[in-house]
Every structure is written in structure tokens, then in C-alpha cells.
Amino acid sequence: MSNLIEQALRNATDTRACVIEDGAIKNIVQIFRECFPNAARAILIADPRTWNAAGEMVAQVLEANGIGFSKHIVEEGGKIFHAEYCYVEEVRSAIKDTLSTNEGIVPIAIGSGVINDVTKLASGDLHLPYMVVATAASVDGYSSFGASITSPEGAKQTYSCPAPRAIIADLTVIKNAPREMTAWGYGDLLSKIPAGADWILASELGVGEWHDRAWHTVQDGLAEALGNPEGVRDGDSKAFGKFVEGLMLGGFAMQDMQSSRPASGAEHMFSHILDMNHHTYKGELVSHGAQVGVATYFMSKFYEKILSFDYTKLDVEACVKAWPEWEEEEKLCRDIFKSTLFPELGVEQTKPKFHTKEALREHLTLAKNIWPELKEKLKKQLLPSEEIKRRLEIVGGAVFPEDIGTTAREMADNTMTAVHMRNRYNALDFTYRTQQMKAFAQSIY
Ligand SMILES: [Zn+2]
């Protein structure tokens, strides 16, 4: 096991074991006994595809070692299987049925983002620790707390629930997942570059919480995890292992900080907006990783605009003069979100980070004064946008808005929503305050 994973496990609140290697499934019995010493049985939760990919194998190993289990296959409703709340109810009642006859049951999710999130929430509701056997490197959410589920009202949201107690990532299985799923995961991991810049920016400007350990968990292995996109695409053992480890570390950082800050910056807001608007492309919802990959390229270009501006010459008084009073801003927040399922979201999230004119003067003067050092820190964190594009193209990921059925215009317009939807300062907040956000966003491509 790598040092980074070992360290992450020491600081994890819920996860006790994480095995990432070729043939990891053969360790499932040992992990099961170590992590769930009082459990006698398991319930395997999969969909038809993930059952074929890994479920059969898990079943064989458990059977050969005398561990009893039942299985529950979540059938696909439509063409794509989504994390709808009805599946959480289905899985929860399947687990409950087994509970009534057997004490000490362990739910084992066999799948990727959707099966994991559904099982995570269902198990959390029942206060049962669970295990996941990953079948694709498509998301960083395996090791995170919380589950991203579409509520009965139709809104995708993060429900609070513990991370898995044990994670098994069998690289032989994961490498055989559909190639586009690997590209999604690569896009999600690549986002930790601009997301890290957002975190630095916020912290240096004294807004938002810093968590040193979570920072190191997600960032220390990142260059290596992302450094060989050809190897990731081709399933090279070392490159692929580091990449999967990178995804897990992103989740562990979130678990440690109990916040998605370490793994999510402005780029994730664009994905949340598309989800909120039920955006589809060619009749299908677009995966999280594809949306995030496109937004990562966008934000990398956006950062290049920031870095090319000399903020030591910023006209602070002009920015203060153009800045609204809260009443005006509150009205704007309500306008932006009025036709969504979350009409109050903008007001709730924007108010805590809103600056009065006096506070803004102080805030921007600080930015002006520390700009030379801040610029160096941001430059060190970021990769050139051309490199971001090159890597996304190598893994076969989406790069441009058109690749996911949106447009440059829509991306630019969405910055206004993005900057009002989370109380988490990022590059958009900074340029919103310097009156540059709109102009930068409109000249990205
Ligand atoms: Zn993500």
C-alpha cells in the first residue's frame, strides 16, 4: 500500500481499509473479517453490468470461504442508470429484509458512482457500515462521505452519510470498464488542479477554511496520478494504479475535512448547474466527470486571464464604487434561482460571503498588496490550459462545451449562477469583485 493511502487511512473517520491492486478481490474475505468482525453475512448490491464485471467473482470468493450472502440486482430503468432516490429505497428495503433474519449483515456495493452512492445512503440510513468493490475509475466519490442522489422532487443533491468502511479497487476489473468511464474519472481528478488554485486564492485572501492535512492528501500525489494520461488510457499497471489512488485520495481528503472543498472548486459549480437544469446531450444526462472536465479546461483558461492581469495596479476605488449593496445583490440572487427547485439557494449561499463596500475595499487592497507572491503560488499550482486540453484529449475526455451539448455562451452566462450558488470563495468570486468575471468568461475560447 502506498504511503499516501496509508496516511489517509490513519486520518479517515469511516474507512479502515482500502486495497488498490490487480486481483484485489481475492483479499475480500480477509478485509471482511478484519473490518466487520461481528458480521456473519453479506448482501451484494450490483446492477446487471457490474454483476458481470465483478459480482460473480466476489460471490465465488465468499462462497469458497464459507461466508453466506444474498444478492440484490438493481435493474436498469432506462438506457442509463441514475442515482435516483427510488433506488435508495429499493436497496434499503432489500437490506432490511435480510436484517430481519440475520444479525451482522454487511452491504457490499459492487459498482461505480451510482451503485456506491445508492448503497452508501441506504446503509447510512440503516446505520450499517458497508464495503464497496469498485468497478470503474469514473469518480472520486468512492471514499468520500455523502452520496450524490436525485431527490424525489428531481433535484440532484448530496445527502449526508458515512463513507464506506472498506474499499476494494481491483485494477484488473477497473481497467476493463468502458473507456469513457476512465475519461470521466480523469476529468474529475484533473479538476483538483484549478480547484486547488481556488483553495489557495481563498486562503491567501483570508476567506474560507484551510485544512493542511486534507490539502496534502489530495495534492501531494496529484502530479504523479495525472502525469501519464497515455498510461491511464492504455491501462498501464503503474500509471493506472496511481490514477485510481489519486481518485481515492480526493475522496479521503473530503472525508477528513468533512467538506468537498479539497476536491471541488469553481469548475464543479458548472457541473452542478447543468445537473440542476437537467441538462441532456443526445437525449442522455451527461456524466459528472465529462462536465467537470470541460469546466476544468474553462477554468484553466480563466485563470490564465487572471494571471495575465497586474493586480498591483487594480483600481480598488472603482471596484468598490461598482459593487452593489446587499439589497440589490439579494434581489439578483432571487432572480437567478427563482425558476429552480432551490429558489433560496442563492441568498443562503451568497449572504455569508458577501462583502460590504468597506469590507470589499479592505479585501481588494489585500489582494493588491500580496499579488506578486499570490500570483507565484497560483502559477505553481496550475497547469497551462493547453496541457489540460492535451491530457483530456489523450484519455478521450470531453474538452469543449459542444462536446457535452452546451455552448461557450452558456458557460459564460453560467458564471453568474456559479458565483452565487456556494458559500465557497473561488476565482469567480474574486473576479466578480474586481468587475472582470463577465469579460473574462466571454472570451475563453
Ligand atoms: Zn467531482
β-sheet bridge partners, residue 43: 70, 107
Measured in Å, residue 278 CA sits from the centre of ligand 1 at 17
CB 432 within 8 A of CB 441: no
* Global confidence as pTM: 0.95
pLDDT tens sequence across 46-74:
999 999 999 999 999 999 999 999 999 99
In percent, how much of the chain has pLDDT > 90?
Answer: 88
Measured in Å, residue 35 CA sits from the centre of ligand 1 at 27
Write down the pLDDT at residue 75: 83
Q: Which CATH fold would you assign to the domain 3-177? A: Rossmann fold (3.40.50)
Parse the chain into domains and list their residue ranges: 3-177, 186-204+265-442
Write down the pLDDT at residue 79: 42
d(CA 391, CA 272): 23
Measured in Å, residue 45 CA sits from the centre of ligand 1 at 23
Rounded mean pLDDT, 373-391: 98
Measured in Å, residue 289 CA sits from the centre of ligand 1 at 7
Helix-strand-coil split of the chain, %, nearest 5: 60, 10, 30
Measured in Å, residue 258 CA sits from the centre of ligand 1 at 15
Q: What angle do CA 352, 356, 361 make, to 5 degrees?
A: 120
Q: Is the pLDDT of residue 420 over 90?
A: yes
Measured in Å, residue 139 CA sits from the centre of ligand 1 at 7
Q: Is the pLDDT of residue 43 over 80?
A: yes
Rounded mean pLDDT, 312-318: 98
